[in-house]
Amino acid sequence: MVGTGYVGLVSGACFADFGHEVWCVDINADRIARLERGEIPFYEPGLDILVEKNHGNGRLHFTTDLATGVAPAEVVMIAVQTPPMENGEADMQYVMKVGQDVARLLEPGEYKVICTKSTVPVGTARELTKMIDSTAKEGVDYDVASNPEFLREGSSIEDFMRPDRVVIGTKTERAAELMQSLYRPLYLLDTPIVSTDLETSELIKYASNAYLAVKISYINEMADLCEKLGARVDVLAKAMGLDGRIGKKFLHAGLGFGGSCLPKDTKAIVQMGRANETPLRLIEGAMGVNDERAPRAVEKLEALAGSLHGKRVALLGLAFKPNTDDVREAPSLGLVAALRERGAHVVACDPEAVETFLMHVPDLEIADGPYACIEGADAALLVTEWNPYRELDMERIRDAMKAPVFIDCRNVYPRDRMESLGFAYDSFGR
């Protein structure tokens, strides 16, 4: 497993738990040293226990030396970053560099599958094959495969161990059989294994994430319409979700989508469409709707609190979703910027994401928990629906605030209760 970021480390630990011997390789010596000591470089519930268990029993190894990991491997998985470039395309330099380095280590007489685990554009497997053919020694025996991940931050271990499906893209039956053998423990769960060609496999991840983004933006547009018509988006979403053709997931109105996957993958697939003269207008529209969510929350705040200049505004939550410390493309980033533009003084709290957020906004005032955060605040916004923030003592919150103005960006608290407590309250679509 080349790369010990979110995808690589979670996948490596889970494969080790399946009983395979796994070498996790990374050029970051400090990260490898920390992993050897049992220190996890990011927050993911249960991952520390899984790493400690499998590292301790000798199935999970860590090294900075690629050759050490590649030599005994039957499958080499590439799980390095593919960050977006300015035009939205995925930056493939890290994937291709690993592929080139692995190609130099291939030896005649051995068969290996070189597999992309990172989310990569359609055509990556073809390009990897060309590059390996031009780099490797004569007579090497290998196949290139695609095995996209579908891990949700905060519940990635469960997603890996009990997935909705496993997607494997190959060109040969030999590679397909070897890749399927990695997931043999899932056969007891009757997990669907989708075996397909390389191009379809590479597109499935993008298409899936783009669809979820569209679904989120759709319910947010319905929330805006509900506000105009006097309807309730929470009841609307529940009724829609009871339709088996629609499903209840990702129908929660609020601040929209963020994180490391949906924003990046929607941009990338839109760029793919443009490059192939197939405009993806529905996905482009979903991206536009999402960009408007944080400004919409600030508009709601100004409607209740008036001018924000000189006012103290508390943000409850910074991570883009609960159970992660990830703030990439998080709505909180846009909220802080917009509030500061209006002259507000922002203070924030989060159970896990403070350190990662301060890497983006180092001068943000941080409070030790929600009650300290709202002390003396002129207004508060519930940004991330962490479990501890879903059952706050709202009377204590009200009494500690300078002015009880509360924007519930995740529709957690009932409007009638909040207003009966004396809050100037608003949410999305209710």
- How does residue 189 score in pLDDT terms, banded at 50, 70 and 90? confident
What pLDDT, on the 0 to 100 scale, is given for residue 86?
Answer: 85
Q: Is 6-196 assigned to CATH 3.40.50.720?
A: yes
Structure tokens, 153? 């931050």
Mean pLDDT, rounded, for 268-288: 96
Q: What's the pLDDT tens digit per position in 195-225?
A: 999 999 999 999 999 999 999 999 999 999 9
**What is the rounded CA–CA span in Å between residue 259 and residue 88?**
15
**Beta-carbon contacts of residue 50 (< 8 Å; ≥ 6 apart):** 13, 14, 17, 157
Instruction: Kindly give the pairing relationship between strand 345-349 and strand 365-366.
Output: parallel
Count of alpha carbons within 13 angstroms of residue 301, beta-carbon side: 32
**What is the rounded CA–CA span in Å between residue 372 and residue 120?**
43
Domains of the chain: which residue ranges?
6-196, 206-291, 293-426
Identical fold between 6-196 and 293-426: yes
**What is the rounded CA–CA span in Å between residue 153 and residue 299?**
30
What pLDDT, on the 0 to 100 scale, is given for residue 188?
Answer: 84
SS3 per residue for 310-364: CCEEEEECCCCCCCCCCCCCCHHHHHHHHHHHCCCEEEEECCCCHHHHHCCCCCC
What pLDDT, on the 0 to 100 scale, is given for residue 301?
Answer: 98
Mean pLDDT, rounded, for 46-75: 96
Structure tokens, 109? 């007489």
Place of tokens 């529940």: 238
Q: Is 373 a catalytic residue?
A: no
Among 89-93, 111-115, 132-136, 372-376, which is the least confidently predicted range?
89-93
Residue 127 one-letter amino acid: E
Place of tokens 């003396």: 376
CB 31 within 8 A of CB 21: no
Q: In angstroms, how far is CA 413 from the centroid of its own chain?
A: 26
For all residues of the chain together, what is the average pLDDT?
96
CB 170 within 8 A of CB 176: yes
DSSP character at residue 27:
S
**What is the rounded CA–CA span in Å between residue 385 and residue 392?**
11
CATH of domain 293-426: 3.40.50.720
What pLDDT, on the 0 to 100 scale, is given for residue 328?
Answer: 93
What pLDDT, on the 0 to 100 scale, is given for residue 38?
Answer: 92
Report the candidate in 40, 258, 14 with the shortest Cα–Cα distance to residue 158. Answer: 14
Structure tokens, 79? 């799980």
Separation in Å, CA 173 to CA 115, 145, 168 = 15, 11, 11
What pLDDT, on the 0 to 100 scale, is given for residue 379?
Answer: 98
CB 129 within 8 A of CB 100: no
CATH topology for 206-291? N-(1-d-carboxylethyl)-l-norvaline Dehydrogenase; domain 2 (1.10.1040)
What predicted TM-score, i.e. pTM, was given to this entire model? Answer: 0.92
Among 14, 261, 349, 373, the active-site one is 261
Mean pLDDT, rounded, for 367-396: 97
